[in-house]
């Protein structure tokens, strides 16, 4: 996204998220919106200067909310909040996720209920435009009161503190601002709190990984269909009438994809009339039901996350029409945690079903193919250990799929006594996606090897293109060799979206 685009607060969609994940983006603030933000900030300053104690404006934070702060110390209060809360640890969050965090933070603040002036929102958008990416440690948030520690590390850079990546080089925050021609901010009343409160980190992580899982699901459809033909399975279980009777949208969509992928397969035609097997194993036959349920789960998760990405998740929240500043709990990321936990189930199941198909293909008694897919089994072990790797990854995903949201650790001297763990719930999806991608890569190799044993019969035209694509990178396995290189090559094709691209035009469902 290189052309300037006016930010429409509260109206971001998947297209914008994908664009920001792909690279720097240029969003602008309408002048009318900027004036509104400045007016709201002036209202907050007036409240802070009043006699009443108002949380976040002229009091301490968390358990210290009863401590009144003198008028001359309000700017120092906001700066101290950012400095003290930057207590994260771990590796920096990846650049695409940081870009999305910047956009989501600007989007939430620009809705005008946080009491920040235009300078705060414009500074966030400037970091995004110049690709100045704050160093945000991955660990340290419990998902309420918002993503405090990671958002504090983001906010440090706005103050000329902390660190940022510029063109891939890590440097002090003040130097990073200077490289983009930006000056450090001096925070006004509540602006530090508004920057730190919110679910933008957990939401950005979950969005990035759910969208990635959606692409993995599309690849799983293609590879799963290839395995059906390699095992000389039936396409009868994909009959549209079966799935319409059940009625789940994801199942209906996935069944159509399998039908179209297998259409005009010479392999299927060769055994359509005299198939000795009455029914295929579940890993082949029940693909629309399982992958369709995964699709529905990911679609639900994405719907929740789009709402959250456009939400005001600050505290307290300012209502300009009445002048009220209302304390609540919109920073509690339980919706994000549930969405991420649901997505984890789907990702784990995609990998688990693919592992079962690999196990089927290497088992000569089930697939009718040579043992372990080797032309010379015994002397050669073929795909024996590739399947073991797939099993290890599927098992790891089962542990990672344990719901993070059922845990809670009281914090802030028991003032914040129930938290969501949404940030970990979302962050762990990256490892799960990587595991499932590798399992699918192993299945891709195995299914293509199986198709080769059925020559001169060929699969459907689109699936033959999928086989040929792999063969441009990896030759068929004639004798034992180091398979990790093959797996990495197949993984690279999946990562690049090449399988989905090569069957473009077929109805592969999207989130």
Is residue 294 within 8 Å of 250, Cβ to Cβ?
A: yes
Mark whether 309 and 447 lie in a shared domain: yes
Beta strand pairing status for 89-92 and 132-134?
unpaired
Mark whether 268 and 374 lie in a shared domain: yes
Mark whether 76 and 131 lie in a shared domain: yes
Percent of all residues in the chain with a pLDDT value above 90, rounded to a whole number: 85
User: In whole angstroms, what is the distance from residue 351 CA to residue 393 CA?
Assistant: 8
Torsion of CA 331, 335, 338, 341, to 10 degrees: -70
The per-residue pLDDT for 175 is 97
The per-residue pLDDT for 58 is 83
Residue recorded with tokens 């790891």: 396
CATH number at residue 422: 1.20.200.10
Q: Which helix (H) or strand (E) holds 137?
A: strand 137-139
Q: Which residues are catalytic?
A: 55
Identify which of 377, 481, 494, 511 has the alpha carbon closest to the alpha carbon of residue 444. 494
Cα dist from 278 to 73, 191, 233, 274, 366, whole Å: 79, 67, 10, 10, 13
Q: Model confidence over 179-210: pLDDT tens digits?
A: 889 999 999 999 999 999 999 999 999 999 99
User: In whole angstroms, what is the distance from residue 395 CA to residue 434 CA?
Assistant: 13
Q: Is residue 509 part of a domain?
A: no
- The answer to whether the pTM exceeds 0.75 is yes
Q: Model confidence over 393-452: pLDDT tens digits?
A: 999 999 999 999 998 777 766 767 788 889 999 999 999 999 999 999 999 999 999 999
Q: Is residue 419 part of a domain?
A: yes
Domain residues for 182? 5-198
Domain termination residue (choose one: 198, 229, 244) = 198
Identify which of 52, 134, 60 has the alpha carbon closest to the alpha carbon of residue 92. 134
- For 297, half-sphere exposure in the C-beta direction (CA atoms, 13 angstrom radius) is 21
Domain termination residue (choose one: 198, 230, 245) = 198
The per-residue pLDDT for 50 is 82
Mark whether 160 and 224 lie in a shared domain: no
Q: Model confidence over 333-355: pLDDT tens digits?
A: 999 999 999 999 999 999 999 99
Q: How many CB atoms lie within 10 A of CB 495?
A: 16
The per-residue pLDDT for 70 is 84
* Mean pLDDT over the full length of the chain: 94
Report whether pLDDT(1) > 70.
no
Look at the chain and report how many structural domains it folds into. 2
Q: Model confidence over 76-90: pLDDT tens digits?
A: 889 999 999 999 999
Q: Is residue 24 part of a domain?
A: yes
Q: Model confidence over 423-437: pLDDT tens digits?
A: 999 999 999 999 999
Lowest mean pLDDT among 150-164, 236-250, 256-270, 273-287: 273-287
The per-residue pLDDT for 413 is 63
């Amino acid at each position: 996204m290189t052309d300037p685009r006016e930010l429409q607060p509260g109206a971001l969609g998947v297209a914008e998220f994908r664009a920001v994940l792909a690279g720097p983006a240029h969003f602008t603030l309408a002048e009318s919106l900027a004036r509104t933000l400045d007016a709201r900030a002036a209202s907050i300053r007036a409240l802070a200067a009043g006699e009443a104690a108002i949380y976040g404006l002229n009091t301490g934070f968390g358990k210290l909310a009863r401590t009144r702060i003198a008028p001359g110390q309000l700017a120092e209060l906001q700066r101290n909040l950012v400095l003290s809360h930057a207590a994260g640890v771990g590796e920096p969050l990846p650049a695409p996720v940081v870009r999305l965090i910047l956009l989501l933070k600007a989007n939430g603040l620009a809705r005008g209920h946080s009491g920040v002036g235009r300078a705060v929102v414009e500074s966030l958008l400037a970091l995004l435009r110049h690709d100045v990416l704050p160093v945000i440690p991955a660990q340290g948030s419990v998902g309420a009161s918002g993503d405090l520690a990671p958002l504090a590390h983001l906010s440090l850079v706005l103050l000329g503190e902390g660190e940022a990546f510029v063109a891939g080089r890590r440097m002090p925050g003040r130097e990073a601002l200077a490289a983009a021609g930006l000056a450090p901010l001096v925070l006004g009343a509540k602006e530090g709190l508004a920057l730190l409160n919110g679910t933008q980190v957990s939401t950005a992580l979950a969005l990035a990984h759910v969208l990635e899982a959606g692409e993995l699901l599309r690849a799983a459809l293609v590879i799963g269909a290839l395995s059906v033909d390699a095992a000389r399975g039936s396409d009868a279980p994909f009959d549209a009438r079966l799935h319409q009777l059940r009625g789940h949208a994801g199942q209906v969509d996935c069944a159509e994809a399998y039908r179209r992928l297998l259409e005009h397969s010479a392999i299927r035609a060769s055994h359509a009339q005299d198939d000795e097997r009455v029914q295929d194993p579940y890993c082949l036959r029940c693909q629309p039901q399982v992958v369709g349920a995964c699709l529905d789960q990911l679609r639900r998760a994405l719907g929740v996350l789009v709402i959250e990405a456009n939400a005001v998740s600050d505290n307290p929240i300012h209502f300009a029409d009445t002048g009220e500043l209302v304390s609540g709990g919109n920073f509690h990321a339980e919706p994000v945690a549930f969405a991420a936990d649901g997505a984890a189930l789907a990702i784990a199941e995609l990998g688990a079903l693919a592992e079962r198909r690999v196990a089927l293909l290497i088992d000569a008694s089930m697939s009718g193919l040579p043992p372990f897919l080797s032309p010379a089994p015994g002397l050669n072990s073929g795909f024996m250990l590739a399947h073991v790797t797939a099993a290890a990854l599927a098992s790891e995903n089962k542990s990672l799929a344990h719901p993070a949201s059922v845990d809670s650790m009281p914090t802030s001297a028991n003032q914040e006594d129930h938290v969501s763990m949404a940030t970990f719930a979302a962050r762990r999806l990256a490892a799960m996606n990587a595991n499932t991608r590798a399992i699918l890569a192993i299945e891709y190799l195995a299914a293509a090897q199986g198709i080769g044993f059925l020559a001169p019969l060929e699969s459907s035209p689109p699936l033959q293109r999928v086989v040929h694509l792999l063969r441009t990178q990896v030759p068929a396995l004639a004798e034992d060799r180091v398979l990790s290189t093959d797996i990495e090559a197949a993984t690279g094709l999946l990562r690049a979206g090449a399988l989905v691209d090569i069957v473009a035009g077929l109805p592969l469902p999207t989130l």
